[in-house]
Amino acid sequence: MDYFTNITYLSLEGHVELEKYRYVYFVICLVVLILIICCNSLVISVIYTWKCLHEPMYIFIAALLCNNLFGAAAFYPKVLSDFLSEKQIISHGACLFQAFCIYTYAAAEFTLLSAMAYDRYVSICKPLQYATLVKMSTVKKLIFFCWFVPSCEIGISIILTYQQLCKFKLNRIYCSNYSVAKLSCGDITTMSTYGLIALSFVVCLPVLFVIYSYVRILDVCLKNSKDFRRKALQTCLPHLIIFTSFSVTSSFEVINSRLEGNMPHIFAMIMSSENLVVSPLLNPVIYGLKLQEIWNRIKRLIWKRKTHVFAD
């Protein structure tokens, strides 16, 4: 038993079934990472550069895309290095740090999406009060809240997870807090209970708030003209697509964490990685293409660069 309680490194066994095509997966992941960095950075730079986009809705979009980059930084570097390594190992501390970053990214995504739903709710349902209720100072406080609260709640969960290990094989390609906890020697009831409570605060409450906001928005839209409904749909559709996509993929990760080992490995791996792959790619594409103001600025930026190239 003394041998096991001195375990300081974990083996990421999720790579075993990917060994045969690991270089192919490396190239795919590298391309996806480059796309995530380029697409998110492009939209963020456009919002930052053009002062006419320094409005609450676009500031929230920039914060959401910054969160995408944070999540990608927590996931891809380790996965890429593992595809090129003979042994896929990670220290206990580094594993928990990765879990902290990935979980904070996911929780912040939900809180940011709920803040964006509030912005849309006030804009459509209380337009005359918008300037008063959604001031830039309020936006900054909401964004701070959206990152600070999840990081604190996830941090406590990580602290509760930090126990001596009796097993070292983690059947995943990245670190999951609950999966690491199941490798510990001690009782994980407290951590598991706290994890469910934290989940309800940083996931369930934001989801319920978003649903409530859209029920109110729908009610207002049904009482107004077709032109009003069209403009409301144009504004809300990107947010609704992203919220639905992230909620579904995150649900897969929660199910996979709790039912680990009870489903095919490849399917479980895809499920657990979707919210780290799909959303960071989908968000900038949806907002870059669906919101006309951002898309127009991107086209101007590209056209200006082309003009400079030809002029040279």
Backbone angles phi, psi at 65, to 5 degrees: -70, -35
Confidence of residue 118 (pLDDT cuts 50, 70, 90): very high
Mark 99-110 as b/e (b = at least 16 C-beta within 10 Å). bbbbbbbbbbbb
Q: Say whether pLDDT at 34 is over 50.
A: yes
Please write the tens of the pLDDT for every residue from 260-308. 656 666 666 777 777 888 889 888 888 877 677 777 777 776 666 555 5
From CA 167, how far away is CA 71, in angstroms rounded?
A: 27
Beta bridge partners of 9: 91
Long-range contacts, 303-306 (Cβ 8 Å, 24+) = none
| pLDDT at residue 1, rounded to an integer | 40
pLDDT, tens digit (0-9, with 9 covering 90-100), for 176-194: 888 888 888 877 888 888 8
Contacts of 107 (CB under 8 A, 6+ apart): 150, 153, 154, 202, 203
- Among 67, 154, 70, smallest CA distance to 112 is for 67
Distance from C-alpha of 13 to C-alpha of 96, rounded to nearest angstrom:
16
Q: At what angle do helices 22-49 and 56-83 cross, to 10 degrees?
A: 160
The whole-number pLDDT of residue 305 equals 58
Q: Is the pLDDT of residue 63 over 80?
A: yes
Q: Which of 21-35, 54-68, 256-270 has the lowest mean pLDDT?
A: 256-270
Written as one string, the DSSP assignment of 28-72 is: HHHHHHHHHHHHHHHHHHHHHH-GGG-SHHHHHHHHHHHHHHHHH
The answer to whether 100 touches 154, Cβ cutoff 8 Å, is yes
Crossing angle between the packed helical segments 265-290 and 56-83, to the nearest 10 degrees: 150
Report the pLDDT averaged over residues 107-114.
94
User: In angstroms, rounded to a whole number, what is the distance separating the alpha carbons of residues 276 and 207?
Assistant: 19
Question: Which range is least confidently modeled, 87-101, 222-236, 244-258?
Answer: 244-258
Residue closest to 113 by CA, chosen among 192, 232, 203: 203
Least confident of 76-80, 138-142, 153-157, 261-265: 261-265
> For 184, phi and psi rounded to 5 degrees?
-75, 160
Closest CA to 179 of 98, 269, 257, 105: 257
Question: Among candidates 279, 272, 110, which has minimal Cα distance to 204?
Answer: 110
Higher local confidence (pLDDT), 33 or 1: 33
Which residue, among 162, 165, 135, has the nearest Cα to 54 in the 3D structure? 135
- Domain holding 269, by residue range, is 2-311
- Count of structural domains within the chain: 1
Q: What are phi and psi of 91, to 5 degrees?
A: -70, 155
Helical H segments across 84-225, by residue range: 92-125, 130-133, 136-161, 177-181, 189-199, 205-222
Specify which of 86-90, 112-116, 194-198, 219-223 reaches the highest per-range mean pLDDT.
112-116
For the domain that residue 160 is a member of, what is the CATH number? 1.20.1070.10
Q: What pLDDT, on the 0 to 100 scale, is given for residue 41?
A: 92
Between these two residues, 19 and 160, which has the higher pLDDT value?
Answer: 160
Question: What was the pLDDT predicted at 59?
Answer: 93
